[in-house]
Amino acid sequence: MIRRGAAGLGAVMVVSGVGKDCNLHVGRGAIMNRRDFVVYGTGAMASIGVAALAVRSGMGAGPAIPGRFPSRVIFDDRFQESRAFGDRAGQLGCAVRPISGDVTKLWTDDLQPLWTHGRGTIVGMTTGASLLCIEQLAWNHWMRVVARVDHRFEPHGAVHHRLLLQADALLDAQLALMQPDKWPQHMATMLVSRIGARRSLQPIESVATTSSTSTPPTPTALTSWVIEARQLSQPAGAPT
């Protein structure tokens, strides 16, 4: 199922209550409120060949992707899927940075100096609350979320994914989500491989489901995402 729409990638969040992940302190006061959010998504995957997945995702030893790399790849070391995402990005030659929910140190030591000097695109798999903090900081530097995939884990092992991506990225994303035990690694490869890709004016929303995995499900929903510079010709809130 593919549905056109989505006014903006960063706007598609459901914020509910208070969570511990988004707790950013700079100087004497807290910049961010603590928040959590609920991601949703249901549906089934189309049948796509596993051989095509291996070819398109480049799951050999890295670095395997020519051209541009993200300035940083962020992962949450509390969750096995996010660790697998970060490990794969490191194999590809990316500069990876772990967090454990809170983004204060990441911001003060890494992202603030990086964006103050006018660079660079970042990719990650984190909780939605951590992304919310990073996204709000990014807006102050003309950076914005340009791609996101929300991952919701079911008790029986299936994973539901909600995708907001450019049209030409949907097939690669669906291929990345096919294999039950390797989808985080393929997702990292897919997002990194599209750094610098031309973006249309409107992302497409889709859903997919990964069949039951062999590992215990993660109890916390995660989100894969890309943040990059907003085009000055686009109004605030409009996808680039």
**pLDDT of 204 higher than 90:** no
pLDDT per residue as tens digits for the range 78-108: 999 999 999 999 999 999 999 999 999 999 9
**pLDDT of 183 higher than 80:** yes
End-to-end CA distance of the chain: 23
pTM of model > 0.75: no
Name the least confident of 30-44, 59-73, 74-88, 175-189. 30-44
pLDDT per residue as tens digits for the range 7-24: 344 333 333 333 445 544
d(CA 33, CA 222): 19
The residues with which 25 forms a beta bridge, in sequence order, are: 30
